[in-house]
């Protein structure tokens, strides 16, 4: 074994359950393998880059590890996939997780999600009642798109598997395939790269939502995987310093906010704010304590994305049923990942108008990435004669965008 600077990565893990600090060594043969899959992972001037790469590098930096770029190998997906299946100590990313792959790897994540779609050129396919059983589909070998296409009714004999995305694009252009099954964000980027006329491509159908992970060969030391998982979780929750998390900052650089698949009706947040306001007006101390303890209904027992949070007039977070650890932080001037000072807008709007709505971007406990969100807020005077701004939010669904 060598030092970290000559090839060995060394991680230190504190096991809270035992209170013992344990050094975990990543062997010299540890591999990180990926593919050209922008914006998640790709080569830029010969250097591995992208959302998943930056996230991985940041995770390791936080535990004192410098991951050299040459230790991340970019290759065709089928080669990367089979390398992870056949070699010990291998991390494959970005890997869509499903039931067929579940036991093939050990997982850390989620990283991000992306719709799986059919890309097409032929406009005659745009009919309301499409028959997938006659569709000629091209897919990347060993890509999850093969099983997704089959699951929506495309016969296996109608699915041609190719090694490169350039081949897939070419088959649509020359008409030997009707549709390409692939993830939307990488597909859109690669079409811009390989197609002579990218504007002729369109999304025929959305088929599913893939959630991506770091997939480790099952012989990888479990402590290594756990450290990466723990640090990723921390990146998703370190909101206090900037107002947005490190995870949100990285995601916003590559993908940006999207609409939500999982959300609730606006009426639920207005009802929750009104209920909480009534409680504070009658018993401020008790209600704030219940909020900080994440009691139902202040944090919905069945929906972790539905919760109430309270500011005072100085934009200090007084209580937060969704993230109690953030209570006490002054959020004045702090922004979301898109640069919006929405907390200041909430407080100023409440002081001027009494109540209202504000939109912003935020990560979602039910999905992976950052999403458009709206909050309803109202000003209330508590039983302690102090003024509070009561808020609750919901993620904006795609049909309202």
Give domain limits for the chain.
Answer: 4-111+211-254, 115-209, 266-400
Q: How far, in Å, are 132, 149, 194, 206, 208 from residue 137 at the CA level?
A: 9, 8, 18, 14, 16
Count of Cβ atoms closer than 10 Å to residue 296 Cβ? 11
Count of Cβ atoms closer than 10 Å to residue 373 Cβ? 22
Q: Does 115-209 match 4-111+211-254 at the fold level? A: yes
Contact yes or no for 105/83 (Cβ under 8 A): no
For domain 266-400, give the CATH number.
Answer: 3.30.450.20
pLDDT (0 to 100) of residue 127: 74
pLDDT digits (tens, 9 = 90+) for 228-242: 999 999 999 998 789
Strands 42-44 and 47-49: antiparallel
pLDDT (0 to 100) of residue 129: 72
pLDDT (0 to 100) of residue 20: 39
Mean pLDDT, rounded, for 349-377: 98
DSSP class per residue in 102-168: GGGEEEEEEEEEEEEEEEE--GGG--SS--GGG--EEEETT-THHHHHHHTT--GGGEEEES-HHHH
pLDDT of 173 above 90: yes
pLDDT (0 to 100) of residue 19: 40
Question: Mean pLDDT for the chain?
Answer: 93
pLDDT digits (tens, 9 = 90+) for 137-149: 999 999 999 999 9
pLDDT of 247 above 60: yes
Query: By three-state DSSP, how is residue 202 classified?
Result: strand
Please state, in angstroms and rounded to a whole number, the distance separating the CA atoms of residues 192 and 186: 10
pLDDT (0 to 100) of residue 1: 36
For domain 4-111+211-254, give the CATH number.
Answer: 3.40.190.10
pLDDT digits (tens, 9 = 90+) for 67-95: 999 999 999 999 999 999 999 999 999 99
pLDDT of 289 above 50: yes
pLDDT digits (tens, 9 = 90+) for 195-216: 999 999 999 999 999 999 999 9
pLDDT of 4 above 50: no
Q: How far, in Å, are 85, 143, 148, 213 from residue 39 at the CA level?
A: 24, 17, 21, 15
pLDDT (0 to 100) of residue 128: 66
Strands 105-120 and 202-217: antiparallel
For domain 115-209, give the CATH number.
Answer: 3.40.190.10
pLDDT (0 to 100) of residue 241: 80
pLDDT digits (tens, 9 = 90+) for 15-30: 444 343 445 566 778 9
CB proximity list for 82: less than 8 A, separation 6 or greater: 142
pTM for this structure? 0.91
How buried is residue 175: exposed, middle or buried, by Cβ count under 10 Å (0-12/13-18/19+)?
exposed
pLDDT (0 to 100) of residue 2: 33
pLDDT (0 to 100) of residue 66: 87
pLDDT band at 8 (very low <50, low <70, confident <90, very high): very low
Contact yes or no for 306/296 (Cβ under 8 A): no
Please state, in angstroms and rounded to a whole number, the distance separating the CA atoms of residues 385 and 316: 17
Please state, in angstroms and rounded to a whole number, the distance separating the CA atoms of residues 294 and 292: 5
User: Worst-scoring range by mean pLDDT, 12-21, 27-36, 135-144, 177-186?
Assistant: 12-21
pLDDT band at 131 (very low <50, low <70, confident <90, very high): confident
């Amino acid at each position: 074994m060598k030092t970290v600077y000559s090839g060995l990565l060394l991680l230190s893990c504190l096991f809270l359950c035992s209170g013992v600090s344990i050094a975990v060594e990543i062997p010299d043969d540890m591999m990180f393998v990926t593919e050209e899959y922008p914006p998640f992972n790709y080569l830029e001037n010969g250097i591995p880059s992208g959302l998943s790469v930056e996230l991985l590098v940041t995770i390791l930096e936080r535990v004192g590890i410098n991951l050299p770029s040459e230790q991340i190998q970019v290759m065709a997906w089928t080669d990367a996939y089979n390398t992870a299946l056949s070699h010990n100590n291998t991390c494959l990313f970005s890997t869509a997780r499903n039931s067929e792959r579940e036991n093939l790897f050990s997982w850390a994540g989620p990283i991000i999600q992306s719709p799986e779609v059919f890309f097409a050129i032929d406009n005659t396919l745009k009919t309301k009642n499409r028959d997938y059983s006659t569709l000629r589909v091209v897919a990347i070998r060993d890509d999850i798109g093969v099983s997704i296409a089959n699951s929506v009714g495309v016969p296996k004999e109608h699915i041609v598997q190719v090694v490169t995305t350039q081949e897939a694009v070419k088959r649509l252009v020359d008409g030997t395939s009707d549709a390409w099954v692939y993830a939307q964000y990488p597909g859109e980027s690669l079409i811009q790269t390989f197609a002579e006329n990218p504007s002729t491509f369109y999304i025929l159908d959305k088929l599913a939502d893939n959630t991506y992970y770091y997939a480790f060969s099952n012989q990888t030391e479990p402590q290594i995987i756990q450290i990466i998982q723990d640090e990723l979780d921390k990146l998703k929750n370190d909101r206090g310093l900037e107002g947005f998390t490190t995870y949100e900052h990285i995601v916003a650089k590559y993908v940006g906010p999207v609409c939500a698949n999982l959300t609730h009706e606006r009426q639920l947040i207005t009802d929750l704010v009104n209920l909480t306001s009534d409680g504070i007006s009658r018993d401020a101390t008790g209600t704030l304590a219940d909020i900080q303890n994440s009691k139902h209904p202040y944090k919905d027992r069945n929906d972790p994305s539905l919760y109430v949070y309270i500011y005072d007039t100085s934009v200090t977070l007084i209580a937060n049923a969704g993230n109690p650890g953030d209570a006490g932080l002054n959020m004045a001037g702090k922004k979301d990942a898109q640069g919006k000072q929405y907390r200041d807008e909430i407080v100023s709007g409440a002081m001027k108008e009494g109540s209202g709505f504000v939109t912003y971007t935020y990560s979602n406990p039910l999905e992976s990435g950052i999403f458009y969100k709206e909050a309803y807020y109202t000003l209330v005077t508590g039983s302690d004669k102090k003024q509070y701004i009561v808020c609750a939010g919901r993620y904006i669904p795609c049909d309202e965008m």
